[in-house]
């Protein structure tokens, strides 16, 4: 997944530049929405890669999962059950599968990694909405709003998945 995200980032950034240069050279207004769309895609992918990298440099998959922020409360689990998280969580991509590999890491390390991953996705939700600021310069509020909403909802699915998994992993950790 990491390679795919990096490729999408580079390709969408290059397409942004191409459409912008073509617009400047030809003055064809219809090229602007393409530049904006690919620029927005590039932003959302690049910012996610950057946030993940910075958080990993700071935390190194070492989080105190006893902190209140990471605690999953009972009503959450009931909500996750109603959302049928158990059915769709395995269909979600993993940025680095080795991080959650039980043959390479202890349950304790994996629980900490779920906390870091949750935090990364929560920060990404915030950065998703920062893209809306660009609508001031490009007069395309709805493009930025829709992509920001989609990006935030996508990251929220990962937050839910990490919190759901952490509860189950802690149960397994206690059994061992």
pLDDT in tens, 93-128: 778 878 888 889 888 888 999 999 999 999 999 999
Q: In which band, very low, low, confident or very high, does the pLDDT at 23 lie, cut at 50, 70 and 90?
A: very high
- CA 63 – CA 67 distance, rounded (Å): 9
pLDDT per position as a tens digit, 33-62: 888 889 888 989 999 999 999 999 999 888
- CA 142 – CA 146 distance, rounded (Å): 6
Domain limits for position 125? 2-175
Backbone dihedral region for residue 71 (phi beyond 0: left; psi -120 to 50: alpha; all else: beta): beta
Question: Domain tally for the chain?
Answer: 1
């Amino acid at each position: 997944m990491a390679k795919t995200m990096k490729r999408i980032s580079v390709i969408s950034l290059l397409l942004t530049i191409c459409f912008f240069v073509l617009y400047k050279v030809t003055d064809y207004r219809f090229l602007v929405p393409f530049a904006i769309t690919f620029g927005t895609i590039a932003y959302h992918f690049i910012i996610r890669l950057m946030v993940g990298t910075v958080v990993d440099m700071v935390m190194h998959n070492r989080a105190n999962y006893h902190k209140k922020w990471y605690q999953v409360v009972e009503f959450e689990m009931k909500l996750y059950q109603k959302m049928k998280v158990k059915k769709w969580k395995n269909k979600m991509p993993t940025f680095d599968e080795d991080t959650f590999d039980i043959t390479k890491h202890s349950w304790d390390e994996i629980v900490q990694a779920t906390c870091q991953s949750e935090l990364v996705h929560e920060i990404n939700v915030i950065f998703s909405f920062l893209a809306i600021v660009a609508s001031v310069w490009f007069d395309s509020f709805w493009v930025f709003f829709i992509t920001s909403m989609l990006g935030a909802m996508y990251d929220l699915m990962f937050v839910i998945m990490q919190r759901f998994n952490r509860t189950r992993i802690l149960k397994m950790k206690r059994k061992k």
